[in-house]
Amino acid sequence: MQELASDVARLSVLFVNTYFVGDPQDANAPWVLIDAGLPGSATALRLAAERRFGVNRPPTAIYLTHGHYDHRGAAGDLAELWQAPIYASHAEMPFLTGLADYAPRDPTAGSALGFMSLLSRAFPDSGANLRPHMIPLPPAEDALPGMPGWRWVATPGHSPGQVAFFRESDRALIAGDAFATTDLQSWTALPLGVRAVSSPPLPFTPDWESALTSVETLAQLRPRLLACGHGLPMGGWATDDDVTSQLRDFAARFQPPAQGRYAHAPARPIDDAGTIPLPPAPADPLPAIVGAAALGVFAASWLARRQRDE
C-alpha cells in the first residue's frame, strides 16, 4: 500500500488502483474505499483494510468513480461483508442495478495493436446488478458520508456517470478514468511505472466530447495530487504545482483517437434506463493482422523445410 497523504493510501490490484481514504490512527474516524478493483480481489482488499484500519473497523461506505468491471470488481462482496452502502452517481445507476450494459468496447480505437486495445478484447463491457447495496451520490454541494472535506465532480465521457473526488484543502484529486497517469496504449509504460498524464482507456471511452470537457473541468481545479484508476500517482506535495501544469497542458492538447467506433459519434444514454444508441461498429483489423502473421510464419517454416530437404 502506497501512502499518498496521512489519510489517503493507494493499493494496486494488477493494473487498476483502489484508494483508502480515512485516518488510520484515529479509531473513531470514518474511512471509505474508493473503487473496488477487479473481480476476485475482495480478500486482498479486506486484508489491506484490516492492516490499515484494524479488524473490527468497517468502512462507512464504498464509493465508485464508475461501474466498469475493473472498478466495481469486489464491491458487491465487500458491501455484503462490511454491510456498507455503495455510492455512485445517478447517471451510473442503470449500469449498476441490472438495467443496462455499457456501450460495447471499441478495440479499433487508436492502434489496434496498442496494449489496452489488444487487451480489451478479453474484457467485458456489461453492467452489473448491485441493487441491494446501491445508493445515489448526494447532491454535489452536500457532504459525502465518511469523507469530510471532499466533494464529487461529474466527469462523464469514459462512462455516462463517472465522477472524481476532490479535496480543496490539499488539492488532492482521485480521478477514476477521466484520464490516466500512464500511457495505456504503450506495452512498457504501465509495467515500468512510467508517469505521464494521458488519455483514458481508449477502447472503453464512448464519448470523447464529454471526456474532453471533463478533463478541462478537472484541470480548472488545479490539483496537486493526481490519483487515477490506472498508473502511478503524480504529485502530492502542498507546494507542487508541476502536476497542475501537466494536467492543464494535457487538457489543451487533448484529442480523441483518429479512428474508432466513437471517434466521431458519441454513444450516450438517452433515458434513465441507460438506453444507448450506437454508431455502427467498424471492421476490426486484428483478425486480418493475426491471419497475415500466421501465414507469414507458415510460409517461412515451409521455405526453411524445403531448403533443408534440398
> What residue ranges do the domains of the chain occupy?
2-279, 282-310
**pLDDT at residue 306 tops 60:** yes
134 or 285, higher pLDDT: 134
**pLDDT at residue 308 tops 90:** no
255 or 240, higher pLDDT: 255
pLDDT at 104: 95
Query: What is the average per-residue pLDDT within 25-46?
Result: 96
pLDDT at 188: 93
Secondary element (H or E) of residue 235: strand 234-235
Query: What is the average per-residue pLDDT within 265-278?
Result: 95
**pLDDT at residue 112 tops 80:** no
Query: What is the average per-residue pLDDT within 205-217?
Result: 98
Dihedral sign computed on CA atoms, order 78, 72, 60, 87:
negative
Domain 2-279 sits in CATH at 3.60.15.10
How many CB atoms neighbour CB 101 within 10 A? 15
Range name among 221-225, 229-233, 291-295 with the lowest pLDDT average: 291-295
Q: How far lies 177's CA from each of 7, 25, 184, 205, in Å?
A: 22, 30, 11, 9
pLDDT at 297: 52
pLDDT at 242: 87
Q: How far lies 190's CA from each of 200, 227, 229, in Å?
A: 13, 15, 12
Query: What is the average per-residue pLDDT within 292-310?
Result: 57
Secondary element (H or E) of residue 293: helix 286-309
Reported as a pLDDT band with limits 50, 70 and 90, residue 191 is confident
**pLDDT at residue 154 tops 50:** yes
Decide if 220 contacts 278 (C-beta within 8 A): no
Say which residue the cell 473481480 belongs to.
Answer: 39
Provide Rg for the chain, Cα atoms: 21
pLDDT at 152: 98
Average pLDDT, the chain: 91
Structure-block grid coordinates of residue 126: 456489461
Pairwise CA distance, residues 155 & 214, whole Å:
5
pLDDT at 300: 60
Decide if 163 contacts 154 (C-beta within 8 A): yes
**pLDDT at residue 83 tops 50:** yes
**pLDDT at residue 176 tops 50:** yes
pLDDT at 111: 79
Query: What is the average per-residue pLDDT within 222-240?
Result: 86
101 or 294, higher pLDDT: 101
AA identity, residue 180: A
pLDDT at 285: 66
